[in-house]
Amino acid sequence: MTYYTFHIDDSGAIEDIDEKIVNGQKIPVCKMYDDEEFNNLNDILHSINDYILNERALNIFKDCKTIPYELRNAKVLRKEKVLGFLKRYTSYNYYELTFPDQNAAYCYDWIDFEKSDVSATDNSQQKLKITSHQQVLDMIKENKSDSELSYSIETRKIVFNQQFDTEIDLFKIPLYSWGIYISERLKNKLEQSQITDIGFADHKEQLGKVWKTYFPLVEFSS
């Protein structure tokens, strides 16, 4: 069983997002970079929000089993040449697809903490093995309190247990990884539909040096 982290290329990238009321609804208005290197009108645009995507890409996600998501209309503005050097914004209809962290809470039940490599280091440099998700929640609560004790948490490897939903096509584990994970089924659908400028990684060596720390090794119990 293979799952991949999902990555959006910045050849089509959002520089700024503003909230505006359009037809009585608050929607994101997304301005693209005014730079040929970053303003391709891709199916899925690089953004600080989860996904700004067109209807073609959206329908692929809708047809798969994902963690619960939130969806709303979005406007994408791209500067385009009108005459000579004169440019003006052209508006395109897109969607904002987000997967809130709280909607992924049940995914933590899939982690086998005994087999995983998750640790915490307190401010006296004492290292502790994490044996449950509740232990992490307690440490986060401690960090937010007035206590002098604080913890930093490091995830090197996540092993999923027998409860893992093998039918899931998209999920995330926010406190342990920055990644959004997709199944081979969803990967194949995106590739077959020729969704533009996206990438996949099934091991850390495929990631840039800066990102490796935030994407742990992922394994599945046999």
Phi, psi (rounded to 5 degrees) for 109:
-70, -15
pLDDT the model gives residue 42:
97
- In this predicted model, what pLDDT tens digit does every residue of 34-49 receive, in sequence order? 999 999 999 999 998 7
Q: Distance (Å, rounded) from C-alpha 117 to C-alpha 158?
A: 6
Q: Distance (Å, rounded) from C-alpha 161 to C-alpha 97?
A: 28
DSSP one-letter code for 48: S
Flag whether pLDDT at 105 surpasses 70: yes
CA 159 → CA 36, 111, 142, 155, 187, distances in Å? 42, 6, 26, 11, 21
pLDDT the model gives residue 222:
73
* 121: CB partners within 8 A, 6+ apart: 127, 128, 151, 152, 154
**Terminal-to-terminal C-alpha distance of the chain:** 10
pLDDT the model gives residue 208:
56
Give the residue with greater pLDDT, 182 vs 25: 182
Over the chain, what is the mean pLDDT?
Answer: 92
Give the residue with greater pLDDT, 74 vs 148: 74
- In this predicted model, what pLDDT tens digit does every residue of 119-153 receive, in sequence order? 999 999 999 999 999 999 999 999 999 888 999 99
Place 213 in a pLDDT band, splitting at 50, 70 and 90: low
- In this predicted model, what pLDDT tens digit does every residue of 173-206 receive, in sequence order? 999 999 999 999 999 999 999 999 999 987 655 5
Assign 3-state DSSP to the chain and report helix, strand, coil percentages, each to 5.
20, 45, 35
